Amino acid sequence: MKSLMRAAAALAVMAAAVAIYAGVAAGHDGGGKGRHGDRGEHHGNKVLEQNLAPSQPTDPHFHGVGPGGVPWVLNRGEAELKMDGRFELRLDGLVIPTMGNTGPVTTVSASLYCGADADATAVDTTPSVPISTGGDARIRDDSFTVPSTCLAPIVMVHPNGNAGAYIAISGFRM
């Protein structure tokens, strides 16, 4: 009887060990593939994540680019750049408040600037994408340039492909 009880206890300990091991193994990502498939963790890491603020005509110029000629409001805007060159930008509700829509703006593009304000050359600029009259747009560029160093990064959203003006920019506005 004693040996039967010892065998049952040993079996219970082994079952508990297997359950613990299975739980730990399920939480492991299998060597970095995780939810990003075979891109791996290293290349999927975010190097930039910024909120965006709408521009006002009185805002300053940055990198030689000026604000749009009318005030804008923005419900939500964010930009993200990953080490693998994937750039994503989301705009929700970027409109001219006096009009309640985007007015003559039908497309937007985005640029990344790095370094001193005197440097007027963008690291990269996305192609233009449509923006809804309600101010919603999504930009996804899978081959965006990722510089080895980007101090003081600024993302600018340009109206109708006009890289000389911005209607939203890195930052926040209350």
Considering the entire predicted model, what is its pTM?
0.76
pLDDT digits 0-9 by tens, 7-30? 444 434 344 433 433 343 334 344
Q: Give the domain ranges of the chain.
A: 2-30, 42-170
pLDDT at 44: 74
| 62, 122 Cβ separation under 8 angstroms | no
Contacts of 119 (CB under 8 A, 6+ apart): 63, 113
Question: Locate tokens 């930008």: which residue?
Answer: 89
Distance CA 127, CA 62 (A): 21
The three-point CA angle 134-138-142 to 5° equals 170
The predicted structure's pLDDT at residue 38:
43
Q: What is the pLDDT along the chain (174 residues), one digit of tens a residue?
A: 454 444 444 434 344 433 433 343 334 344 443 434 444 445 579 999 999 999 999 999 999 999 999 999 999 999 999 999 999 999 999 999 999 999 999 999 999 999 999 999 999 999 999 999 999 999 999 999 999 999 999 999 999 999 999 999 999 998
- For 60-70, the pLDDT digits (tens) are 999 999 999 99
Contact 94, 157 (CB under 8 A): yes
The CATH classification number of 42-170 equals 2.60.40
